[in-house]
Amino acid sequence: MRIVVGGLVVSVLAACGGDPSPAVDAGPDAPALDATIDALIDAGGPDARPTTFGGARPATLVVPAAYDPATPTPLVLVLHGYSTNTTYAPALLQLTAAASSAGFLMIAPAGTTDSSGNHFWNATDACCNFENSQVDDVAYLDGLITEISGAYNVDPKRIYVVGHSNGAFMAYRMACAKADRIAAIVSVAGATFATPASCAPSQPVSVLQVHGTADATILYAGGTITVGAANVAYPSAVGSTDRWATYDGCAATTTTGTAIDVTGDATAETTPTAHGSCPAGIGVELWTVDQAPHILGFKAGPPLLWTWMAAHPKP
């Protein structure tokens, strides 16, 4: 598959392999992103040249037309949900066009597949390694960051991970295991580890949790997912951000901000709450989207998630 932004086509193959699975994310199959890609390809451009990185698991990199090798550039990893593919998440989260307009590098890697052919990330104990795969997705994603940083001028203070559902669980795992590399994560309809001891970040990481109150797949109030013979718990949206406030050294108390329109329904349906007294440059926030389902559509226009990430580089 070719990804093009601003006339530059980049094909990336990243290291690592493995296999297995999570918690039903039957989402759009993503022709929207492909249509955007096709339009950009049709526009052509003098810099349209493929670049390949070695490795066993294919991934694609979006390079903005304004990329300057002399300028440190942000990198955003976008992680798909269970049973979906690499194309739907960037479009769903309104990040495809943002990579070009805001000028950041973006990659949408693929998880491995389980015995049913469903893509998944081996993220937290709850979501979503259903078949006890030994795949190390932390090592895979960390290696991908290293590969891209070796070929492009990636700003080490502006490396972000954003995911939907199973991809959001994986974003939390990356924040736990690679806090020295990740500036901030965005979890859309995901959750962190239920057991505090399962996560030991080496330094603070900014966190944004976005979750609909009508999510029937990953419950806003928390729940369990059956993995093998066990029902494994995951925390609520509030519990996830409260946990990270503790990890990051923020206050337990929160402040409620002005309601915003995230979904584009012309109403301010989303209530943002933020923990106070965080270390300088660190933010821990929850955006509660009233009555929104698991497949949470973001409105077109200013890229809300990127705007939040850009405001939270590593201190």
Domains defined along the chain, listed by start: 3-310 (3.40.50.1820)
pLDDT value of position 20 = 29
Partnered with residue 206 across adjacent β-strands are: 184
Supply the pTM of this predicted model: 0.86
Phi, psi of 170 (to 5 degrees): -70, -35
pLDDT value of position 59 = 77
Please check the confidence at residue 213 and state whether its pLDDT lies above 60: yes
Per-residue CA distances from 152 to 61, 80, 105, 252, 284 (Å): 11, 23, 9, 39, 29
pLDDT value of position 302 = 79
Question: What's the CA gap between 248 and 131, in Å, rounded?
Answer: 33
Tokens 């194309």 map to which residue? Answer: 87
How crowded is residue 206: how many other Cβ atoms within 10 Å of its Cβ? 27
Structure tokens of 153? 């001028």
Taking only the tens place, the pLDDT of each residue in 76-123 is: 999 999 988 777 788 889 898 888 889 999 888 889 999 999 999 999
Taking only the tens place, the pLDDT of each residue in 225-274 is: 999 889 999 999 999 999 999 999 999 999 999 999 999 999 999 999 99
Query: Among residues 104, 108, 155, 113, which one has the least CA distance to residue 21?
Result: 113
Question: What's the CA gap between 270 and 299, in Å, rounded?
Answer: 12
User: Mean pLDDT over all residues of the chain?
Assistant: 84
Taking only the tens place, the pLDDT of each residue in 133-167 is: 999 999 999 999 999 999 999 999 999 999 999 99
Q: DSSP letter at 8?
A: E
